[in-house]
Structure 1
Amino acid sequence: MASEFVLGMYPEANACLQSNRKSELDGIDATASKKIPLQQGYPPCKMVDRVSEIMKEACQKRLTEEAKTGSNLLHYGFRMGDPLFRAQLAKFLTDQYGYDVRKERLLATCGATSGLYHLCTMFFSPGDLVFAEEPSYYLALEMMEKDIKRKIIHVPLDTKGILPEELESTVKQFYPKEGFVPSKERLYWSMVYLISCFQNPTGACLSEDRCKAVVAIARKYHLLVVSDDLYGPLHWSFDTYGRTPSHAPKPLKYFDREEDEGFFGNVVSNNSFSKIMAPGLRIGWMEGPPVVLAKFACSAYFVSAGDFNHFTSGLLGTALESGAITNHIVETRRQYKEKIVAMQQVFEEKLKGVIKYSLPEGGFFVWIQLPTNMNCDDLMALCQKKYNVTFACGNKFTKNPGSLSNFIRISFSHLEKDTFIEGVKELSDAILELKATNDSQ
């Protein structure tokens, strides 16, 4: 009776518990039938196979070295992460972003979702506010609102990222009249969640001026800004000579500088290897200020368990040291850019003047604005009935009912180029048919 009562409160629970999916990807593939899934924000299977080879070589090398030195990656490990991993990660990030990333400011995690969850629960309580972009990554919103009971307050963005003036005016509506003073029990008044570079779903990158403005607002109102920075290395912009890739756009964390007057530590860069390598690694990291990292390092969670995923982070340290991961990312960028160039050609031929979109320079996603008289749910219904393609509806990426109904998100990451372009053509034909139907009414 007790179990029936619990399952009755969660109608979806029984299906989840009985699911035989090997992974979320397996479930989507099984239910999508023969449709081309443009909604899937995953690395492509061939690239994951390449990661498998990288990890196999790293495992052989590292375990051979461990046997000689008497060390053991299967022990609990260091609270902040494997020393080699943190040192090599710092070098990797310094090379990718073009500024000095210190290993002392890095903390190994189980990935970005794990990092976000722990930041929310370590520093805040149920009922607290989270100021988030609109649109934003829908599963992060769902986790914060549904699972840990935070209240989402949306702030609009444009092609250059979140609008700082809108952020400040929204924060001021809720900020306590008596102000806020940080204490050991409560370091921050509230939290901001955003994706500062190649945002999901829009692909926008927060401009440097806006990064500085967001940091100033965070300091003024005692906010912890959590920036999911999963996509930065996946960029294909070029330097002024058009020969070699430039550095990735600097993450928001860079602008919260410790040498600044009035520095407290208001920004955490929350990252993962899930997008730049493979999600099954379950490894990520935070680049954070001392006040944040100290709270993690001193928590009973870390004292009891050591770091989050000691074994895999150790292997990644070896892979980073070898240069294999950098080479892998260079090839990944090349293939993604090829898909984007081909997609642009299709859109120019079929949908010029019909849709609006920004051509991404990195990441996984393209955010498409449909004609104002078109609803993404209607387009989805038409595709399910007639066209061989699926996508993500824009209204998934907000907690405001009725918002973003004429937007859709597609991903170019997971599918091979030919299949992706076939899906883009199918989607284009569906949009044109629905437009013709709506225009005739």
Structure 2
Amino acid sequence: MSRAWIGAILGLLVSVTVQAADVHDVRLWRAPDHTRVVFDLTGPVEHKLFMLSNPDRIVLDVENTRLKSSLSSLPLTDTPIRQVRSAVREGNDLRIVLDVSAGVDPRSFSLKSNEKAGDRLVLDLYDQRATSVQPEVKKSVTQNNKRDIIIAIDAGHGGEDPGALGPGKRREKDVVMAISREIYALFKAEAGFAPTLIRTGDYYISLKGRRDLARKHQADLFVSIHADAFKRREANGASVYALSTSGATSTAARYLAQRENAADLVGGVRLSDKDDMLAGVLADLSMTSTLDASLQVGAEVLRNVDNVTRLHKRNVEQAGFAVLKSPDIPSILVETGFISNPGEAKKLGTSSYQKKMARAIHAGIKNYLVAHPPSGTLVAWKKAQGGSEYTIARGDTLSGIAQRFNVSMSVLKSTNGLSSSSIRVGQKLTIPAT
């Protein structure tokens, strides 16, 4: 091979190596304890991060990169960032300067492109004096020194992770946040229940971080709300999932778990099959009541959701959902529908349908907790003193309810003034104390 050819090849390799990347979009989200800035790139880059004082500012130097997006429209309100500016440095490099008004601990990392997102440079500014927007929920003492039942309501996705996308650019993260807030409001109005929202706004939380927040709030139950997409647009219907410690109960459940677990790829969290805490615990889940309780509450939610929409699966499905891997908290994931289905996406986007779905999920969870209240709670005390209330769902029979609550048919009828065994969906029954 001639020297001319070798030189041409080397020149081509050098030109490919030093090809400039573009920042084609810049996005910002505020979380309760940090601010995240994401730079969307056309290719991988090298960068350096450092801080300067008098005045305080964060500096990002990005090699061989051009800014092709505006920094002036970033939502800086309620963040420690006063201003973001840029400059060209040493010919081809980009310098991003963030003027800050409060102490922060900056961290940065690059993310390679994957099936869900392109190359990105992520800058997280953690508050030095982090104060949560939502106060930590305590298992509060109420009537007769009995505590509330704490329900952790997790709106899936958020921030740079929009979740599934439907027709008309409808985003899963917005739909499930609306439904989650409705469920929160319903439980907030109930004596003996203390709901908490895992995600209180539009920001990213890792799957493990969601479980950790539920544990921090001392939750008695965890419910994650979603509205997924499928490769076939005709797929429709709601479903409920619990954790599987072995294989998935169906191909669809496995596919969905893989999609939901991949949410961490968007946020820059390394996926792992096992967490340190769970390594020695997952094998013991089958020997505890946690998984059994998850299946029972999931079945009760399904029965109530069946009153609102078609069910995609009539039984609670199981797969290895990372967000459900809390060994000590009964946990379910509710797919409220397929946002990829045009008809279902239209319904999911309406306030009236969101309220109906929230009421069904709330009724299912409440029915289970009324029947199986955690010890030491106000609900358990009320049940022992004077019974509890149960909402009839599709498929219920009076004999089945009597068996579930361990009461006789005659007592159940007399307590509720029933002359026959006929009941209707939505009817409320008083379950006498046993």
Larger Rg: 2
Higher strand share: 2
TM-score, length basis structure 1: 0.26
Greater length-normalized contact order (CA 8 Å, ≥ 6 residues apart): 1
TM-score, length basis structure 2: 0.26
Higher helix share: 1
